[in-house]
A = this chain, B = another copy of it.
């Protein structure tokens, strides 16, 4: 810290600052903000940047902590300003040679429009008169002055902008003009006088004529704006820490409105929408920056500058090339031309669509500009989602009637149904449906599978509906509290709109929007091409995708598997790049109608013998399930988790289902209701489930293991290469694993011997309870692999039931700044991650070749994938549509910290 100052001119040599920051583990942008560091870099490169200095983020943080300027800071700022005066040869407040500056915020991460900016600072009555003499342009000066008073009054002093705008409006009315540009110089001078009066009226003191006072107040205002409401909200939404602070850039003003040899514009070095390599942007002659944005005049395309100012244009093109070469990235630029001279006001890496991101990355590699490692860093993994889910055609999208939690991206439109049964019935008739439920349960699985999308009034991003929705790749909007389902279950009301079963609605799982009617959707080109529904020749985006993604695969260390419960999902995941299955949930397979009745019969069994007999009836179904998945994944590892959820989830609830179960099982309806009541739990999440079922009802697990190995033998005999890995869930006690693993190995051995088949397989366990992580060294003696179930591990580490807390207080925690992001969305490294770290290290000590992976929701979250890489896992597993995201995130993790 000792070598660093709080204020730096941009022409300072960067290298010593970088070195001092590196010693603190920081980068230039941490210290000077994004804007400030880029101005430094451009200045250091000798580009035409108006001289500026930057007040650092450290100074801002000192200010925020103290609630006032730290001692010495004003003096340092004024010294930097004196230096700026020397550099420009102009002086702040000197009417004969005035210096005007802009005061702009610039945080580490771009927060466009969230914080404050003051332009034309340095103007006062005397300077205005002096500038008129100097420029002979009375209109320009009074316009600049009136803009400055308004901006200073609004931004710095908190007098609402509209009070000042009224002055201009009055003058316009008096002069009978409607456009600002048509107001006379005299009129603008009058506006200045009126604004000064408004200022004094609201603040009880005159508009400050001392430019140094203006400067310090302006900087204070920018510091304060770091913690204004919209900046805080923006940081929350974008997961930007609240303790970074903003830098402040004080830059010499240049004017694009000095005549027709002046102008101003913004440009991208490539097309941010498609990625095409061409200059993309707009400019206006004789205008200031805000005019381009304001839309009062129609700007010209940047290419037209070539004809108007060929030399300037060429200079700009050269600068674009230089900056792309320097940053190895597409740039977003602001420039001004003052009296025939080009000035660069800002450069930054440009935002872009997913498609553009890939195109740019691929092109830049082909141009020899960047390496493949750099290319994979140029695409945001989460963005890939956009490319894979069907989407609404934005041009045809009507206004939404409400908005819920965006849980699983994609567009879905269909007839509203309120029960899983109706969903299945209508889908069988070929109709598209959207399933609307208060919340979903495993009972609804088939209905969910039959639906285009799912809408619930309860639940959060990891509620059952959300998890299964993502798993199935179904668009899903949850926790949509405006949805009021009628008691009859025949209709719902959303903000006054009554929607009956059969009416069409559309939901956008990427935004959470709910719309009336059947909004048309487009299927993702990439998915169509990967499924073979369209030809690669007709799918340029898919070709681009197919060119880009293997680079990620070449780079990444971490494997990527998928969570899939069906052969279809498995095949899709393989097409999307999965090299195995990290989690097959066996319970969903019991929800076919016939199967469910048999499964219920098994639960209702009153002796081990009876249970064993009924389990045997389920065996053929399970064997068929496993056969299909192992076949689809031929040669790739498939982790199959034995039954996990509590049995009461499977029992009938309504009278008709009870009756059906009674007929199949031979138990009385009263007995069935009694058994269901006896299985009821106060906290089912912490109850009789997972391997606890394997201990108390060993017949179930034995049947499942038998089905796995019989299926594998069948495939082996067909010449295929099944690679099953049996997973025992919810272990917290060694005895549980010893017992279940012993049973499983015994059954496997018996089946393989009976079939005369040799087969390598693995047996492992979920690590999803804190105690399991803490006794990992013991567990690894028996388990050949660990799969971290980070959903449950997060629930138990925090003592959070995701069903209960996500909707209730997690949002409040985020909005109060207690946490940045839900730990169910992005893995908590400090607590949950530490448990994973303990388990990995201690497990591997006992068994060096222990296979380590993650199968929780976090496996598809880029930040969590990065953690998984660093903590030493072998693979992550996620739902099929998130496989490309995980592949890319894994590659980025390797680039950032090579393993």
Contact = CB atoms under 8 A, between A and B. Distances in A.
- Closest 3 pairs between A and B when the two form their complex, measured CB to CB: A735-B818, A686-B801, A771-B831
Given A683-B804, A735-B819, 18 more contacts: A682-B685, A686-B686, A686-B804, A692-B805, A695-B812, A733-B813, A735-B816, A735-B818, A739-B816, A739-B818, A768-B799, A769-B799, A770-B799, A771-B798, A771-B799, A775-B830, A796-B796, A796-B799
Residue among A769, A796, A809, A816 with the most chain B CB within 10 A? A796
9 contacts: A681-B801, A683-B686, A684-B804, A692-B809, A695-B809, A770-B799, A774-B797, A774-B831, A792-B799
Nearest to A800: B686
B685 A812 contact: no
A861 interface: no
B798 A732 contact: yes
B774 A683 contact: no
A445 B627 CA distance: 56
A798 B774 contact: no
Contacts of A795: 686
A351 interface: no
A832 interface: yes
A686 B804 CA distance: 8
A834 interface: yes
Nearest to A802: B686
B688 A685 contact: no
Given A730-B799, A770-B797, A828-B771, A681 B804 contact: yes
A812 B683 contact: no
A803 interface: yes
Contacts of A812: 695-696
A799 B686 contact: yes
Interface string A663-689: 000000000000000000111111110
Nearest to A735: B818
A869 to B, nearest CB: 21
B686 A685 contact: yes
Contacts of A828: 771
A543 interface: no
Contact of A688 (B736, B771, B805): B805
A37 to B, nearest CB: 30
A812 B696 CA distance: 7
A808 interface: yes
A799 B692 CA distance: 11
B688 A808 contact: yes
A473 to B, nearest CB: 26
A872 interface: no
A520 interface: no
Given A796-B797, A812-B696, A733 B818 contact: yes
Interface in A722-741: 730, 732-733, 735-736, 739
Nearest to A803: B682
A226 to B, nearest CB: 19
Given A688-B805, A818-B739, A819-B735, A775 B683 contact: no
A139 B797 CA distance: 74
Nearest to A818: B735
Nearest to A686: B801
A325 to B, nearest CB: 44
A767 to B, nearest CB: 12
Interface of A: 681-688, 692, 695-696, 730, 732-733, 735-736, 739, 768-771, 774-775, 792, 795-801, 803-805, 808-809, 812-813, 816-819, 828, 830-832, 834-835
Contact of A819 (B682, B730, B733): B733
A468 to B, nearest CB: 16
Contact of A831 (B683, B696, B735, B770): B770
A688 B832 CA distance: 20
B687 A801 contact: yes
Residue among A730, A796, A799, A828 with the most chain B CB within 10 A? A799
A800 B247 CA distance: 50
A835 B770 contact: yes
Residue among A682, A769, A770, A809 with the most chain B CB within 10 A? A770
A692 B771 CA distance: 24
Contact of A770 (B687, B688, B770, B813): B770
Contacts of A769: 797-799
B796 A834 contact: no
A831 to B, nearest CB: 4
A804 B687 contact: yes
Contacts of A798: 732-733, 769, 771
Contacts of A809: 688, 692, 695-696
Contacts of A813: 695, 733, 735-736
B686 A684 contact: no
A819 B739 CA distance: 12
B805 A687 contact: yes
Contacts of A817: 735
A757 B805 CA distance: 41
Contacts of A739: 816, 818
A85 B769 CA distance: 60
A735 B828 CA distance: 14
A736 to B, nearest CB: 6
A803 B735 contact: no
Contacts of A732: 797-800, 831
A293 to B, nearest CB: 38
A828 B818 CA distance: 32
Nearest to A817: B735
Nearest to A798: B732
A585 to B, nearest CB: 18
A411 B258 CA distance: 100
Given A683-B683, A733-B818, A735-B818, A804 B770 contact: no
Nearest to A832: B771
Nearest to A732: B798
A792 B799 CA distance: 9
A45 B462 CA distance: 72
A797 B477 CA distance: 33
A188 to B, nearest CB: 49
B686 A805 contact: yes
A549 to B, nearest CB: 36
A323 to B, nearest CB: 40
Contacts of A808: 687-688
A863 B449 CA distance: 53
A835 B774 contact: yes
A806 B872 CA distance: 37
Residue among A695, A771, A796, A813 with the most chain B CB within 10 A? A771
Contacts of A770: 770, 796-797, 799, 831, 835
A692 B797 CA distance: 15
A688 B799 contact: no
A768 B828 CA distance: 18
Contact of A685 (B683, B692, B792, B803): B683
